[in-house]
């Protein structure tokens, strides 16, 4: 940071102009705290963002990947991951804990900040009461980057125990592309049939990408 004029260093710039005035690499540099003897914090921050394929990729990058960036290490990697997770939580921390889910937009606004953008595929369920208010949501299975495995039995066992009237299945695509695979379509049909059998309505199956989503209900697919 020695070559950067004091007034333009991230900490001083933030104090002068506010956090919104900082670039992505400056914000990451502040979280990292410092660089190394040979490479300043801004240089290390630039490499972190490049390694994540952009600042949005910080949602998906893992601890081991961050540690492989020269100048990061375990402590700085942990600090950065904690900052990213804290930012994620600010998107929904003060909202009503039992909102009513009446539209696809409602579902996505609830699910995307909580469960989108992870580096492995995770399959979960949102449980709703008779008025379509959220009882709770939870992850049922978590896999590798290639996918996760869950079954209708797992999902509806949880729904029956919670006395849910509606369920919404959801999972994320680590690639950021929410378009459904053949397996996703088959799973949706199985979940729909199982719901009819036990008397609990599958309201939707939502696939979460980076910023985008796919709704089977919105597409008219069952």
Answer with the residue of higher pLDDT: 75 or 221: 75
Flag whether pLDDT at 147 surpasses 70. Answer: no
Q: In CATH, what class is 6-90? A: mainly alpha
Structure tokens at 83: 């900052």
One of 3.40.630.30, 3.30.450.40, 3.40.140.10, 3.30.950.10 is the CATH number of 104-215, namely: 3.40.140.10
Three-state secondary structure readout of 92-153: CCCCCCCCECCCHHHHHHHHHHHHCCCCCCEEEEEEECCCCEEEEEEEEEECECCECCCCHH
Q: How far apart are CA 102 and CA 204, in angstroms?
A: 11
Give me the residue spans of the domains in the chain: 6-90, 104-215
**Could you read off the pLDDT of 58-94 as tens digits, one per residue?**
877 778 888 888 888 888 888 888 888 888 777 665 5
Q: Do domains 6-90 and 104-215 have the same CATH topology?
A: no
**Could you read off the pLDDT of 24-59 as tens digits, one per residue?**
888 888 888 888 888 888 888 888 888 888 887 787
Structure tokens at 80: 């950065």
């Amino acid at each position: 940071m020695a070559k950067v004029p004091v007034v333009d260093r991230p900490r001083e710039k933030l104090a002068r102009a506010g956090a919104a005035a900082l670039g992505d690499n400056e914000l990451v540099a502040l979280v990292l705290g410092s660089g190394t003897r040979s490479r300043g914090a801004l240089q290390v921050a630039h490499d972190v963002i490049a390694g994540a394929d952009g600042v949005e990729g910080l949602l998906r990058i893992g601890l081991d990947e961050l540690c492989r960036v020269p100048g990061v290490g375990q402590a700085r990697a942990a600090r950065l991951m904690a900052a990213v997770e804290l930012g994620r939580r600010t998107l929904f921390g003060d909202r009503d804990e039992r909102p009513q889910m009446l539209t696809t937009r409602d579902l996505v606004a609830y699910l995307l900040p909580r469960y989108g953008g992870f580096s492995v595929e995770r399959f979960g369920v949102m449980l709703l009461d008779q008025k379509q208010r959220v009882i709770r949501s939870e992850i049922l299975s978590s896999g590798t980057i290639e996918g996760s495995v869950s079954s209708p039995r797992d999902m509806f066992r949880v729904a029956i125990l919670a006395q849910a009237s509606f369920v919404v299945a959801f999972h994320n695509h680590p690639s950021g592309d929410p378009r459904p695979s053949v397996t996703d379509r088959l799973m949706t049909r199985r979940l729909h049939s199982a719901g009819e059998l036990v008397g609990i309505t599958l309201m939707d199956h939502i696939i979460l990408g980076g910023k985008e989503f796919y709704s089977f209900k919105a597409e008219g697919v069952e």
